């Protein structure tokens, strides 16, 4: 009976919460993505490298292009989170994934539009065109 009444003392572990910079976080983020790529997880690697995450305190905010990529990311997020917590020595880190589906309108350019754009970038193109008697296709 006396053996059943013993109290069990649980030891509490204090996890590190060292401060880190956004640059250090980005470095570890990219190292993890590279490690995934080396292991053959190219889809997750490309998701991690779509854009740079933003740091606000210990909360990392990451934007993804659509719901499908967010689901893929969230399925693999805990490995990334463990890597970041371990290498940055801060166990308060959290990751928030958001979908940003802003649509960029891509307009088709004709030859004259392309030429004008190249001319803006490098005015010497006009000299090249006139020297060799080049014309834009109709």
Per residue in 93-117, pLDDT (tens digit) is: 999 999 987 744 445 567 787 788 7
Distance of CA 45 to the CA centre of its chain: 9
Expressed as residue numbers, the domain containing 130 is 102-137
106 phi, psi to nearest 5 deg: -100, 115
The share of the chain scoring above pLDDT 70, in percent, equals 85
Average pLDDT, the chain: 84
| Structural domain contains residue 35 | yes
Claim: this prediction has a pTM higher than 0.75? no
- Shared domain for 93 and 46, answered yes or no, is yes
Count of Cβ atoms closer than 10 Å to residue 52 Cβ: 13
- Shared domain for 30 and 93, answered yes or no, is yes
| Structural domain contains residue 1 | no
CA distances from 38 to 8, 45, 88, 103 (A): 46, 9, 22, 32
pLDDT score, position 138: 58
DSSP, res 64:
E
| Structural domain contains residue 2 | no
| Structural domain contains residue 76 | yes
Each residue's pLDDT tens digit, 4-58? 666 666 666 778 889 999 999 999 999 999 999 999 998 899 889 888 899 999 9
* Closest to 98 (Cα-Cα) out of 53, 32, 43: 53
| Structural domain contains residue 119 | yes
Domain of 63, CATH number, reads 3.30.300
- Shared domain for 92 and 30, answered yes or no, is yes
């Amino acid at each position: 009976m006396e053996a059943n009444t013993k109290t069990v003392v649980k030891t509490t572990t204090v996890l590190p919460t060292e401060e880190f910079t956004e640059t250090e976080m980005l470095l570890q983020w990219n190292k993890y993505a590279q490690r995934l790529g080396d292991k053959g997880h190219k889809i997750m690697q490309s998701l991690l490298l779509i854009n740079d995450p933003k740091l606000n305190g210990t909360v990392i905010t990451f934007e993804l292009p659509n719901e499908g990529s967010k689901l893929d990311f969230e399925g693999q997020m805990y490995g990334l989170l463990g890597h970041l917590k371990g290498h940055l020595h801060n166990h308060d880190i959290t990751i928030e994934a958001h979908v940003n589906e802003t649509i960029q309108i891509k307009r088709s350019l004709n030859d004259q539009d392309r030429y004008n754009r190249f001319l803006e970038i490098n005015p010497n193109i006009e000299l090249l065109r006139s020297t060799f008697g080049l014309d834009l296709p109709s």
